[in-house]
Amino acid sequence: MSKLLEVRGLSVDFVLPNGSKRVLDDVSFDLKRGEVLGLVGESGSGKSMTANAISCLLPKKAQVLGGEVIFFGDETPADFLKLSEREMRNKYRAKRVSLIFQDAKGSFSPPRSVGRHIEEMVRLHKGVSKKKAKGIAKEIFGSMFGDSKEGERNFDKITQSLSGGQAQRASIALAALVTKPDVLIADEATTALDVTVQAKVLDELMQVVRENNISLIFITHDFGLVAEYADRVVVLDKGKVVETGVTEDVFYRPQSEFVKNVLRDLPRIDKRLRQKEHTSLQNNVINVQNLSVAFPYTTPKGLFGNVSEKEVAVNNISLEIKEGEIFGVVGESGSGKTTFMRSVLRVLPDIAQLEGSVDVLDKDVYALEENQLRALRKMVGGVPQGTKQSLTPRKRIDFLISEALDIHNLYESDNADKKEEERRERVAQLMEAVELPVDRMRDYVARLSGGEAQRVAIASALATNPKVLFLDEPTASLDASRKHTILNLLLKLQEERGLTYVLISHELPTIASICDRVAVMWKGRIVELGGARQVLENSLHPYTQILRTSFSVPDPKEARRNLRLRKEKNLVMPSFSAQELESIGQSELVESSQKGHYVDDVTQQLFFNKMK
């Protein structure tokens, strides 16, 4: 394969008021024609900066210190960094080098329909009449959606009324299919999507790329995705290239410390962090029977009328969580995981309509008086998702951690001075327990990193010495090493304090690495429930299987086996219409031949029918 793009010694600085910061330091790599090059690194490693530098779209504060980006697509090679803005625009942008962004919806102007963007693109680059452009645009758009009816339907929509996957498909059509560029840069193109959608969209993207002989620079933080799709890999860390090579070499014979560490730390579906497994689970801590939660809303009808409808977020779920276990709830966005947690904690919004019973520590949560509820809250802690956003930025860490102590007045002494002393002591103990340096007690939340904020949230949830801890997406948006440390911390705390965890996550690897039992949720229902091994290794429900193969493992052979499985067994998320979803009706878990392994046979049948 011939060389198409060569990046040599690229260095970029960010000019900030208090001096400049190096974001890219001597970055060099080649891109060959028709290959998929994985550009992988953790947040802040300079991946996006590299993409922007190649296409000369750096933000104003960025300053290129040196280097070359040489494009060999024409007879005479051109250095992008030396071209004028006009030349770059007229000859190369979109025609030769296109970009797909992470925020697919954000890359379309919100009040314009996606179709008009594509029309504009066709007119700009093909120089055809307005009428003809619309026809071409519709054809291109339809081909991206496979089914031309779906394309037709979405052509005149604005991005607000498209789903994330549809918007990303539209932006792939826009970037790759109109001009068929030589180089396509996909900058975290599927990070914001649900995994099953991500797998679908990426498979489609790879097909587009292979069919049109486009060279793809595939930028992601996910080592698994790189293992699955990339031919070669460039690993970036803190603006430097730490490793380059053929995918198999990088994953099986890593040279750099960084890659070795990441591969060691990354939670994997097939690797358990927790060796010990629970054998004798006796007492129920949480007992949920036939829980349904619905949110009413109104839709307009006719000129003035409204119809009230309701969205069922949690649909008739029953489960028991035993003392001392780590119970995982896994599902994609909108599956009802968080609503389930909020209904057990009784922190649902007022409009929610709840049915069924929720018993926590043998008390019916919804029958309790205010003061009894408060006493119960002491025993059940919750760590919300998006920790950094959920902590008040204007308060100091020690305040946040000790807030619960003040609310429940959990001090031994009555004297104000002594209380203060006690408070400081307890905060220090808790900070030590979550492995935060005690001298940061007076810091503000704004100065914490994502992982540190997570620790503060855990510490504040532990302040009341609870028995049960709910953790909503504790590892989301953390880098591999931080994920690893948080999970280890959780295990350590659990052993020390005999806690029961309910771990809610969309990341199957996180769930797989520490949970004893797992519930898989889909559209508000639990579709499969059982021991972690049972559910993940002998999945009975097609949805679990799809979910499992959608997660890529940082191991090229395994990951490509997933890819093959998806194709051969047609393990692709089917799309269901609203009527089909409504017609499911009541469903209940049925125990399979294995003890303690339950599956929802109604939805199981539905998936089987759909996937035939």
Partner 1 sequence: MTLIVIFGLWFVLAILISKNRPSVRRFAFKRFIWVPILFIPIWFGTYSMMKAAPGDPAYVIAGSHASEEVIEATREAYGLNRPHIVQFVDDTWKQANGNSGNSFIFSEKTIAQLAAERIPYSFAITFPSLLVILFVGLTVGLWATFKKGTWLDTFLLSSALFWQAFPSLILIQFLMLIFSVKLGWLPAGWSGDWTAVFTTTAIIPIVTMSLGGIAGMARFVRTITLNVIDEPYINAAKSRGLGPFRIAIRYVLHNASLPLVTVLLPMFFLSFEGSFFIERIYSIPGFSNFALEALFARDYPFLLFFAFWGILLGLFIKWLTDMLYIRLDPRATQ
Q: Residues in the site for partner 1, rule: CB under 8 A?
A: 55, 57, 89-90, 93-95, 98-99, 101, 103, 106-113, 120-121, 124-125, 158, 160-161, 171, 174-175, 300, 302-304
Q: How far is the CB of 301 from partner 1 (least distance, A)?
A: 9
Closest approach of partner 1 to the CB of residue 593, in Å? 49
Question: 174 vs 458, which CB is nearer to partner 1?
Answer: 174
532-542 CB burial, b ≥16 within 10 A, e <16: bebbbeebbbb
d(CA 170, CA 148): 13
Minimum separation from the CB atom of position 472 to partner 1 (A): 28
Least Å from the CB of residue 154 to partner 1: 14
Our CB check for partner 1 shows the closer of 101 and 258 to be 101
Tell me how far CA of residue 307 lies from CA of 4, 161, 304, 577, in angstroms. 58, 20, 10, 20
C-alpha–C-alpha distance, residues 344 and 339, integer Å? 9
Q: Least Å distance between CB 484 and partner 1?
A: 32
Task: Tell the smallest beta-carbon distance from residue 168 to partner 1 (Å).
Answer: 13
Q: Pick the closer one to partner 1 by CB: 189 or 503.
A: 189
Nearer to partner 1, 92 or 258 (CB): 92
**Whole-angstrom distance, CA of residue 327 vs CA of residue 281:** 12
CA distance 314 to 335: 8
The kind and range of the H/E element at 210 are helix 195-211
Q: What is the DSSP string of 541-558?
A: SHHHHHHHHHSPPSSHHH
Q: In whole angstroms, how close is the CB of 186 to partner 1 at the nearest point?
A: 12
Nearer to partner 1, 93 or 597 (CB): 93
Residue 90 vs 415, nearer CB to partner 1: 90
Residues 111/117/119/125 CA torsion (nearest 10 deg): 150
Closer by beta carbon to partner 1, 94 or else 294: 94
Residue 52 vs 604, nearer CB to partner 1 = 52
Euclidean distance between CA atoms 482 and 120, whole angstroms: 44
For the bound state, the minimum distance from the C-beta of residue 251 to partner 1, rounded and expressed in Å, comes to 31
Cα 249 to its chain centre, rounded Å, is 27
Task: Give the list of residues 6+ apart from residue 172 with CB closer than 8 angstroms, or none.
Answer: 100, 144, 189, 201, 204, 205, 208
Edge-to-edge strands of the sheet including 363-364?
A: 305-322, 284-301, 353-360, 363-364
